[in-house]
Structure 1
Amino acid sequence: MMSVSFRGGTEAPADMDALFRAYSDDLRRYAYRRLRDPEAAADLTQEAFLRYVASRRDERSDAPASQFFLWRIAGNLIVDLVRRERRQGRALPLEQAATLADAAPLADQSLIARQDFALLRAALDGLPPKTRTALLLNRVAGLSHAEIAARLSVSPSMVSKHIMKALKVCLQSLDSAAG
């Protein structure tokens, strides 16, 4: 029976399920740090284990360096993937490729955006003057609560209350239209 050294130095049977459970998360994180793509990292992790199994199928010896062998396989797969992407360019999902063809929003997206804008404008117009001004100064002009408080002659905590009230009204306006 083959044994594998797990984290913490304990020995356990090297059935592939136990090996996968012991190392897959760490291997996937390693691949993600190098690739910055969670799907590619997950695929690469599975491919590394498949190649490990294929390489060990005929061997009956102990393999105390299984983890290191897996990391070597993963490292080689990462290098191969990066080289292939450099040569061929990175493949995009079809829905992303379609948006690259024309940067203008689709007609239905434009209509929805215009409707949302009209709802927000109506909600803002219905707010008390200080509440509306506090929100616009914060979100549009980028002023801090202290700066807004000085302009409106109120406390910074009151500015927070005005902004929260305005945001709540705006969200309710959008939610009522969506529901």
Structure 2
Amino acid sequence: MARQSAAVLIASFQENYEQLLRFLTRKLNGDSDRAADVVQDTYLRLAKTPDSDDQIDNPRAYIYRVAGNLAIDQIRSDRRQNAHQDNDMGDTGVANISDPKPGPENIFLSREQITLLDQALNELPANAGAALLMFRVEGLSHNEIAEKLGVSNSMVAKYIGRALKHCRDALLAGGEK
């Protein structure tokens, strides 16, 4: 009778395989590889069902209970392993932590670029510099800039294009020095 109950469990497992895999994938935060591992462990556990005269009334519910318990065991094991790794970081872990702030070299290069851009903006004709700043800094549209400067939309586009090219060329020339 017990072998028959194991056969019933395996048959029910095979019928519900896809649903069980989806259930475990959700339970394991979308990790389908770990879910597949737990499904395999579930099959092995069901195949090793001990001999007993007890009959399982709802094989599908029993399978889900076994699979759910194995998933919980997997989650707990992962947490213990992660906690253990966090505790073992010691001196080697500290060396692997990166500082999100820029280093001194990047700070220096950024300041140099800002200085070059500032000089390039000061060299621009008044309307071109104003058009670029209104467009990039203030976020004004071409129409709004044209109204403020008293020029056409196409002239605003030319001012901005010339100003951007001048700033780009100044940065490239400054980087070659």
TM-score by length of 2: 0.47
Higher helix share: 2
Structure ID, larger Rg:
2
